[in-house]
Structure 1
C-alpha cells in the first residue's frame, strides 16, 4: 500500500501526512485561499496549526513572511477572514465526505439500527450530533463498548460540533442524531476529514477510532487513538 507523502507545516515546522494538513493555494488573481482537497493548480503551502495559531500568525505578519518565502513573491493578498475561510472549507469537506459515504450506503442512522450493529461488534465508528441527548449517547456508547468487549473503557462516540439539522442536510435525511459506520475504509475516510476540521477548530479530540479490540487493538490503544497520534510516511518537499 502506498504511504501518504509528508509535508511540513510552514508555521510550526512540524511534519505530517497530506491528509492531516491544509493546503493554502496562490490563485492567479493573487489571493490566498484554502485548498482543502489539494487540487487547485499552481503553488501551494501547507499548514497544520489550529485556527487560534493561524490568527496569531496572520495578525503578527508571520504568515505573510513564510508565504512570501514559499511562493517566492510578495505579490499576493491575505484576507483577514482567512482563518474563517479555512474553518468553513474544512467543515464543508467533512460534511461532504459524510454525504458521499451515505449515498454509497456505508452510513447507518437510527438508534436501533446503530445499537444492533454496535452490540454485534460490527461498528467501526460512532458520532453524535451536538444536540443529541446525553441518555441517547450513553446507550449507544455502551452498546459499542459491549460489542468491542471493552466495557469499563473510555471508548465512546464523538460528539460533533454540529446539530442534527446540519447532519441531516449533509446526509439528505431528516433528524440525523447519531451516525455509525460499519465499513472500515469508509470510517477511515470520514475520520480523516473530521480530524483535520476538529484539529483546526480545537480543542476537540480527534475522531473516534476505526479499529476495534476484536481486530487486535487493546482498549488503551483504542482510547489512545483519540489523542491524534499519526503514523509517519514518506517525506516530500513541503511546497507544491
Structure 2
C-alpha cells in the first residue's frame, strides 16, 4: 500500500509534507500511520504497516496538522490525534539520538571528556562533535576552534548527554567515522525542529556555526 506522498524521485525516495506541501527526502520528514484503532501514531523508524502520512520535522508543523485536522483529511477517515503529539514526538526523537550515542559508545565509536575529545579532534578522527547546550562558552569555544568542518550537535543538556556514557553529566562528546555518526546527524536533524539548539553540517574547511 503506497504512502500519501510523492512518487520516488531519481535522487532517492521523497515525500510531501501534508502541512507545508514541501517535497523532501524521506529521511528529513516524519512518518505517521493510523493504527487499527484509528489513532495517529508516529512511525519514526518508517516500518509500521499502513499508508504513511508525512510531516516536516518541526514542532509548529506537527501542531498545525493537529489543530487543522490534517491527519483526518489525509487519511480520509475519522482519526484520533493526541493533543500533545508534538511533545511525544520530541521525546521519542530525543531518546533515539541518545540511543545512537549509547550504541556508539559500546561499539568504541564514541567518547566523552574535554581532553579526550580535544585529542581526537587534533588527530582528525572526529566525525561528529556533540556539545552540551548548557556548557560554559569558554570550554565550547576551545573545542570548536579545533572542529573545523566537523558537524556539531548541541541539543542536550549536560545531564542528558551524560546518560549514554554512564555519567551524571557530560559536556563534550565525539563520534568517529561510521554509520552511527551518520545516523546521529540525521536523527539530530529531526530533533532540531523540536528543540532550541544546533545541528550544523558545515562543508569541509568551514567552522561550525552557533545559533
Report the TM-score when normalising by structure 1. 0.74
| Inter-partner Cα distance in structure 1 for 2:107 and 2:65 | 40
> What is the deviation of 1:191?
0.4
Q: 2:199 aligned to 206, 209, 215, which one?
A: 206
State the SS of the aligned residue for 1:47.
strand
| Inter-partner Cα distance in structure 2 for 1:12 and 1:186 | 30
Q: 2:98 aligned to 95, 100, 122, which one?
A: 95
| Inter-partner Cα distance in structure 1 for 2:22 and 2:151 | 29
The alignment covers a number of residue pairs equal to: 202
Matched, 1:185 2:193: no
* Aligned ranges 1:1-240 → 2 under 5 Å: 4-59=12-67, 61=68, 64=69, 66-74=70-78, 76-145=79-148, 157-160=152-155, 162-198=156-192, 200-201=193-194, 204-209=197-202, 217-219=204-206
| Inter-partner Cα distance in structure 1 for 2:105 and 2:201 | 18
Structure 1 outlier segments of 4+, above 4 Å:
none
Query: Taking structure 1 as reference, are residues 157 and 132 closer, same or farther at Cα in structure 2, changes over 3 Å only?
Result: same
Higher relative contact order (CA 8 A, sep 6+): 1
> What is the deviation of 1:22?
0.7
Is the Cα–Cα contact under 8 Å of residues 141 and 156 in structure 1 kept in the other structure?
no
Higher helix share goes to which structure?
1
> What is the deviation of 1:174?
4.0
Q: Which structure 1 residue ranges, 5 or more long, are not aligned?
A: 149-154, 212-216, 228-240
Q: Which moved more, 1:18-27 or 1:173-182?
A: 173-182
| Inter-partner Cα distance in structure 2 for 1:56 and 1:42 | 23
| Inter-partner Cα distance in structure 1 for 2:11 and 2:166 | 33
State the SS of the aligned residue for 1:191.
helix
Q: Which structure 2 residue ranges, 5 or more long, are not aligned?
A: 1-9
> What is the deviation of 1:159?
2.4
Which residue number corresponds to residue 7 of structure 2?
none
